[in-house]
Amino acid sequence: MSLYAIGDLHLSYQVPNKKMDKFGKVWHDHEEKFVENCRKMVSDEDTLVLVGDHTWGRKMSECEEDFKYIMSLPGKKILTRGNHDMFWDSHKTDKLNEQFAGKLQFLQGNYIPYGDYALVATKGYTFEGPFYLDSRGRIIDWDEKEAAKAEKLVEREYKRLVEAFEKAAEAGYKKYIMFLHYPPTNVLQKESCFTRLAEQYKVDQVIYAHCHGEARYDDSIKGDFHGIKYSLVSGDYLKWKPQLIIQ
Ligand SMILES: [Fe+2]
Ligand SMILES: [Fe+2]
């Protein structure tokens, strides 16, 4: 029984004008590459966490084929929420879980047990600019209004994550894996409320996605930071091979 993660499938079976091919070779037939890799690596006893940005469909009726694809993948599938998942009203996660009972699990602002671990997830948020650069490409300033807006969204997501940890702790869990769709820090930060919360709860690992395209792979923390392992699992970064999180 192993735990795997990957994010940013950006499926578009019913909205073909959203195909990701223009973002480079890595996206060419990425759906087929991913299925093949999953069949080689993931068994039906394993769990696969899909870390947001599942589909370009804006409403459920535009996502049906994408969900069929996801349901056809091996293993138990847990979906967390990304910024492009318009089908997913954050207040109606229970409804999604009822609709897909026995097929898919949706996790946002809550936890799911995995052995003696609690898998804790929320979408997260971080300020991504606009930034103003000097002639050498260094950030010298940023849009204050957008930064203030982002701060509010960070606060909301932080509260959701606190709630998720509190529920898991109340249920007796002491070991955690934390999933965010957004990176835990932006290019200006060394740490954030999310990294501090991860430290407070002594999580083993922080998994995030969202950073795709080569220019974004180093936006946030990767590897060991204050004793916690951070992993970027966006699909193109992983070349569509799910990342092993726990053996
Ligand atoms: Fe994405
Ligand atoms: Fe995203």
Output the six-digit token pair for 80: 């967390």
Q: What is the pLDDT of residue 79?
A: 98
Specify the pLDDT at position 61. Answer: 96
212 Cα to the center of ligand 1, angstroms: 7
Total Cβ atoms within 10 A of residue 62: 18
Ligand 2 centroid–CA 52 distance in Å is 7
CA dihedral 157, 162, 163, 167 (to 10 degrees): 140
**CA separation for the pair 98, 199 (Å, rounded):** 33
Residue 137, pLDDT > 90, answer: no
How far is residue 70's CA from residue 80's CA, in Å, rounded to a whole number?
Answer: 13
Residue that the structure tokens 């969204």 belong to: 153
Position 166 scores a pLDDT of 98
Q: Is the pLDDT of residue 41 over 90?
A: yes
The β-bridge partners of 104 are: 77
Task: Calculate how far, in angstroms, residue 82's C-alpha sits from the geometric centre of ligand 2.
Answer: 5
pLDDT in tens, 194-238: 999 999 999 999 999 999 999 999 999 999 999 999 999 999 999
Question: What is the average pLDDT score of the chain?
Answer: 96
State the distance from the centre of ligand 1 to the C-alpha of 56, rounded, in angstroms. 10
The pLDDT of residue 97 is above 90: yes
- pLDDT at residue 142, as a whole number: 92
Query: What value does the mean pLDDT take over residues 151-174?
Result: 98
Q: In Å, what is the CA distance from 23 to each residue of 46, 50, 59, 84, 148?
A: 31, 20, 24, 16, 30
CA distance linking residue 152 with residue 201, whole number of Å: 23
Distance 192 CA to ligand 2 centre (A): 18
pLDDT of residue 106: 98
Strands 110-114 and 117-122: antiparallel
CA distance 209 to 99: 26
- How far, in Å, from the CA of 183 to the mean position of ligand 2? 9
Instruction: Identify the nearest ligand to the CA of 125 by its number.
Output: 2
pLDDT at 21 over 90: no
* Phi, psi (rounded to 5 degrees) for 2: -125, 160
Q: Which range, of 18-27, 93-102, 150-159, averages the lowest pLDDT?
A: 18-27
- The span from the CA of 23 to the CA of 19, in Å, is 9
The CATH H-level (homologous superfamily) assignment of domain 3-246 is Metallo-dependent phosphatases (3.60.21.10)
pLDDT greater than 90 at residue 25: yes
pLDDT band, very low/low/confident/very high, at 152 (cuts 50, 70, 90): very high
212 CA distance to ligand 2 centroid (A)?
A: 8
Q: Does pLDDT of 22 surpass 90?
A: no
DSSP the chain: --EEEEB---B-TT-GGG-SGGG-GGGTTHHHHHHHHHHHH--TTSEEEEES--B--SSGGGTHHHHHHHHHSSSEEEEE--TT-TT--GGGHHHHHHHTTTTEEEESSEEEEETTEEEEEE--------EEE-TTS-EEEE-HHHHHHHHHHHHHHHHHHHHHHHHHHHTT--EEEEEESS-SS-TT-S--HHHHHHHHTT-SEEEE----SGGGTTSS--EEETTEEEEE-BTTTTTT-PEEEE-
* Per-residue pLDDT at 18: 87
Which pLDDT tens digit goes with each residue over 68-94?
999 999 999 999 999 999 999 999 999
